[in-house]
C-alpha cells in the first residue's frame, strides 16, 4: 500500500504523496503499537513500483537479500526509446519484468489494443531489450511469491542472492 501511495505518475510528472509526508503523518500519530513496522514499511516504499506484483517482488527480493534494483529504468537502442523495465541492476547488466495477466487482459491497460496486439507489441519490446548488452528475465505471481523460485531466476542472471533457511 505504501508503494501505491507513493506511485509516480509519468503523465503528470508527480507522485500522489511523498515519503516525507507519510513519515511526518506517522510521527504525528505516535506512540502506537506497530509504529516501528509502519515506519519500516514507509522507508522501504518506492514511488517507481507500478503494480502490486512489483511491490511483492521487491519484498521477496529483500527476503532473499538480492541487491536493490533500480525501478523503471528507461532503455534505448539505435531505433530510439524501447521502454522502462520494472527492475534493473545496471552494475550486473540485468533487467527484469514482473507481469501479471492484467497487462494483457484488462481492457483499461491495453490502450485500445486487442489482447493479440498487446502480446505481439510486448514480444517486440522484449526482443529489443534482449538485443541490448543485458540479461533479461520475466516472472509472474507464482515466482514473485516464492523466495526459492525468485532466487533461482535471479541467480541464473548472475545476481547475488541468498535464501535463509528457517
pLDDT surpasses 80 at 9: no
**What total number of domains does the chain contain?**
2
Claim to verify: residue 125 and residue 140 sit in the same structural domain: yes
Which residue range(s) make up the domain with 106? 48-166
pLDDT surpasses 90 at 108: no
Claim to verify: residue 60 and residue 42 sit in the same structural domain: no
Q: Are 161 and 151 in contact (CB under 8 A)?
A: yes
Cα–Cα distance for residue pair 95/73, rounded to 1 Å: 9
- pLDDT value of residue 62: 96
Domain-ending residue, one of 24, 47, 70? 47
Q: Is 109 left (phi over 0), alpha (psi -120 to 50) or beta?
A: alpha
Claim to verify: residue 77 and residue 149 sit in the same structural domain: yes
pLDDT surpasses 80 at 16: no
For residue 82, what is the domain's CATH number?
Answer: 3.40.960
Cα–Cα distance for residue pair 65/86, rounded to 1 Å: 18
Q: Are 164 and 123 in contact (CB under 8 A)?
A: no
Claim to verify: residue 33 and residue 70 sit in the same structural domain: no
CA 97 to mean position of chain CA atoms: 7
The SS3 of residue 7 is coil
**Structure pTM?**
0.84
166: confidence class by pLDDT, cuts 50, 70, 90:
low
Claim to verify: residue 20 and residue 65 sit in the same structural domain: no
Claim to verify: residue 2 and residue 56 sit in the same structural domain: no
**Mean per-residue pLDDT, 154-161:** 97
Any bridge partners for residue 83, and if so which? 75
Cα–Cα distance for residue pair 123/100, rounded to 1 Å: 15
Claim to verify: residue 14 and residue 85 sit in the same structural domain: no
Claim to verify: residue 25 and residue 73 sit in the same structural domain: no
Amino acid at each position: 500500500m505504501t508503494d501505491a501511495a507513493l506511485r509516480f505518475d509519468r503523465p503528470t510528472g508527480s507522485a500522489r504523496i511523498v515519503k516525507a509526508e507519510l513519515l511526518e503523518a506517522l510521527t504525528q500519530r505516535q506512540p502506537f503499537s506497530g509504529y516501528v513496522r509502519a515506519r519500516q514499511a514507509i522507508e522501504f516504499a518506492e514511488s517507481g513500483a507500478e503494480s502490486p506484483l512489483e511491490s511483492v517482488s521487491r519484498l521477496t527480493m529483500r527476503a532473499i537479500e538480492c541487491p536493490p534494483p533500480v525501478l523503471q529504468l528507461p532503455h534505448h537502442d539505435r531505433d530510439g526509446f524501447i521502454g522502462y523495465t520494472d527492475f534493473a541492476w545496471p552494475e550486473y547488466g540485468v533487467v527484469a519484468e514482473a507481469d501479471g495477466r492484467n497487462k494483457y487482459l484488462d481492457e483499461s491497460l491495453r490502450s485500445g489494443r486487442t489482447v493479440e496486439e498487446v502480446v505481439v507489441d510486448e514480444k517486440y519490446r522484449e526482443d529489443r531489450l534482449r538485443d541490448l548488452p543485458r540479461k533479461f528475465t520475466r516472472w509472474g505471481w507464482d515466482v514473485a511469491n516464492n523466495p526459492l523460485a525468485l532466487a533461482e531466476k535471479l541467480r541464473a542472471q548472475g545476481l547475488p542472492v541468498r535464501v535463509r533457511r528457517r
